[in-house]
Amino acid sequence: MTITLYDLAGAEDDRRFSPFCWRAKMALAHKSLPVEEVPWRFTEKDVIEFTEQGRVPVIVDGGNSGKAVWDSWAIAEYLDDAYPENLLFTEQSGKASTYFLKCWVERVVHPGIVRQVLMDIHNHLHEKDKDYFRTSREKVFGMALEDVVASAEESLPQFRASLEPMRAVLGRYAFMGGDEPAFADHIAFGPFAWARAISERKLLEAEDPIFAWRERMLDLYGGYARSSPGYES
């Protein structure tokens, strides 16, 4: 039975850029589960009304009486419980340390990348989402989208420096989760998959160990992420 995944899409149905959805998608690929991805736009709240919250990823598991789960962390926990083959929280990666990584990625990596690519996101949105995105994000930032990215070039070295904890892990292990990929990797990969989908900006230098890890992530699961439309930088 197939799992349905509601996945944020841009102007084209296959332009998928949500870092949280990327976590869920990589987790599903990690488990080799059959998935039907449904493109979803910010303004289609009615489509996921059954969750009583307005965000994706949302999964509906046809193999489990249509059980609906949302929030990428809850989805990973659900998948490990329901499908214990190929665990996402491995003994080596650990749940508590993966949670720490999630908090760090959301507080450091996501905001750092947003300052680089916010206008690129806007420019790749479906027309019907553009007003909603501008209004909601300008409210959060307290400034015009254009002003958020005004210092993108100048702040790039600071962004790259902020990734030092990832370099430390990748200097020791092939993956953020240790010797094998785990949900820790899907969390850290989310923002890079997001940027790749909508921006030509070169976030990482080729000699950066994070660049090599991102390449490994793009190749995982038969090149699942690499086959998704995006820019190679």
Ligand X SMILES: N[C@@H](CCC(=O)N[C@@H](CS)C(=O)NCC(=O)O)C(=O)O
Tell me which residues touch ligand X (CB under 6 A).
Answer: 8, 18, 20, 42, 54-57, 71-73, 136
Q: Smaller CB distance to ligand X: residue 39 or 209?
A: 39
Q: Smaller CB distance to ligand X: residue 56 or 220?
A: 56
DSSP 8-state class, residue 175:
B
User: What is the residue whose two structure tokens read 């400034």?
Assistant: 143
Length of the chain in residues, anyone? Answer: 233
From the CB of 183, what's the least distance to ligand X, in Å? 12
From the CB of 59, what's the least distance to ligand X, in Å? 10
Cα–chain-centroid distance for residue 150? 24
From the CB of 20, what's the least distance to ligand X, in Å? 4
Q: Smaller CB distance to ligand X: residue 20 or 83?
A: 20
Q: Smaller CB distance to ligand X: residue 41 or 170?
A: 41
Query: How far apart (Å, rounded) are the C-alpha atoms in residues 14 and 225?
Result: 12
Q: What are phi and psi of 33, to 5 degrees?
A: -90, 145
- DSSP H helices, 51-176, are 72-82, 95-104, 110-124, 127-141, 145-148, 152-162, 164-170
From the CB of 154, what's the least distance to ligand X, in Å? 26
Cβ atoms 233, 185 nearer than 8 A: no
